[in-house]
Amino acid sequence: MDQRFEGTPRAEVRREGQRLIRGEVANDWGSQLVWSIRRNGEVVATVPARAEEVIEFPDATPGSYEAVLRLFHYEGYEKDKDGKYTKSKFVDVSNPVVWTV
């Protein structure tokens, strides 16, 4: 049988100073969990989130920032000729945290 991820994972995140803090992930699929951090809409950092519930993000480059927790959603092993998944993908599982530098 192939795996089928069911349910909807959900976590709460917040920012305190330079720290990004996440809570436990409800309905956790157990796949790769990352912080995705954007500045002015562009991804500037993807940081592993599984092992730590708190990360430091001290980047002081001016701009509008958004951080969100993302979890890999497996829907099949298929990939295109460049090795990118065609069905499986990361999905947002938290509220976004926004701030401006």
Partner 1 sequence: MLHLGHERVPVCGDVTRRSFLQAGAATMTGAAALSLPAVLSLEAAGAVEASKQEIRNCITIFLVGSPGQVDTWDMKPDAPAEIRGKFKPIATNVNGIQICEHFPLMARMMDKVALIRSLHHNTGATHENGQRWMMTGHDFNADSMKPHSGSVLSRVFGNRGMLPASVVLPEKIGNTGAGPLHGQSAAYLGSSHEPFFLQSDPSRADFKVSDLTPPAGQTEFRINARKELLKQIDNVQRKVETNSELGRDTAYARAFNLLTSPEAKTAFDLTKEDDRTRNRYGRNTLGQSCLMARRLIERGSRYVTVNHFETVFNISCWDMHADGGSLNNTYADYEQLLCPQFDWAFTALIEDLEQRGLLKETVVCVLSEFGRTPGLNPRGGRDHHPGVWTNFMVGGPIRGGQVIGSSDKTGARPQNQPILPPQILASIYHAMGIDLETTMMPGPGSRPIRLVEAEPISQLFS
Distance CA 14, CA 21 (A): 5
Q: Give phi and psi for 77, each to the nearest 5.
A: -85, -10
Is residue 95 part of the contact set for partner 1 (CB under 8 A)?
no
Of positions 13, 20, 22, 25, contacts partner 1 by CB under 8 A: 25
Is residue 78 part of the contact set for partner 1 (CB under 8 A)?
yes
| Nearest CA-CA partner of 99 in 55, 39, 53 | 39
Task: Look up tokens 């999905």; give the residue.
Answer: 91
Is residue 4 part of the contact set for partner 1 (CB under 8 A)?
yes
Is residue 56 part of the contact set for partner 1 (CB under 8 A)?
no
* Joined tokens for residue 99: 């701030």
Q: Which residues bind partner 1 (CB under 8 A)?
A: 1-7, 9, 24-33, 48, 50-51, 72, 74, 76-79, 81, 83-85, 88, 90
